[in-house]
Amino acid sequence: MREQYRSESFSEDDLAADPMQQFARWFRQIAAGGMLHEPNAMVVSTATPDGVPSSRTVLLKMYDEHGFVFFTNYESRKGRELAANPRVSLLFPWHPLARQVIVTGSAARVGREETAAYFRTRPHGSQLGAWASDQSSVIGSREELVRRYEELSARYPEGEQIPAPPHWGGFRVVPATIEFWQGHENRLHDRLRYVREDANGDGGAGGGAAWRVERLCP
């Protein structure tokens, strides 16, 4: 199966000075177009210290000049792997526009205040689910999971404040590289990658970084 991509041009002259500004530009465009049900869905890839990889789809909850934030159970597979090896890759597969954004960088936990503030915005059922599920662990049956949920629902009825689980919270991915991929026909795609100019290349912390732009062969 193969499809010819027919899309708009994308060159160095089109780029924002900062990759997070460029990400915001593309994200707003695809979100406003209504072409994707969840444009903030991204594939998060982690690895153990000895290099065994794993990937899963996670929802981006915030982005700014400091990086990309998502939330998870810290005791899940990705949580444990990031604790041991903070290197991470994010992939936004925006196929309707023949676009991808690929991020590499390092992840660190956000503060508990930030986690608690976000947790309060989640739907009641999602708050209960964060407590009910020991994410990535083996469970005997779905009935066991539902039973846990129902017990929590009785303890915390709708309208009752639910505390954020201590084992649950956010990760902020500070990018070292961000590649913007625009598909074109005949595999002559545009791949423009921002590379952070840090001496150690680990993504550093905070905004205001210097970046260079590289064009990659498709």
- Residue 37's φ and ψ, nearest 5 degrees, are -65, -45
User: 25, 168, 175: which is closest to 89 by C-alpha?
Assistant: 175
Contacts of residue 16, defined as CB under 8 A and 6 or more positions apart, other chains included, come to: 22, 25
Q: Is 187 a catalytic residue?
A: yes
CA atoms of 101 and 27, how far apart (whole Å)? 10
The H or E element that residue 126 is part of is: helix 124-132
Which residue(s) pair with 155 in the sheet?
none
Q: Which two tokens stand for residue 124?
A: 């009641």
4 contacts 185 by C-beta, under 8 angstroms: yes
H helix and E strand count, the chain: 5, 9
Q: Is the CA virtual torsion 91, 89, 84, 117 positive or negative?
A: negative
Q: Which of 187, 191, 193, 215 is catalytic?
A: 187
- By the 10 Å C-beta count (0-12 exposed, 13-18 middle, 19+ buried), 11 is classed as exposed
- Which residues are known catalytic residues? 187
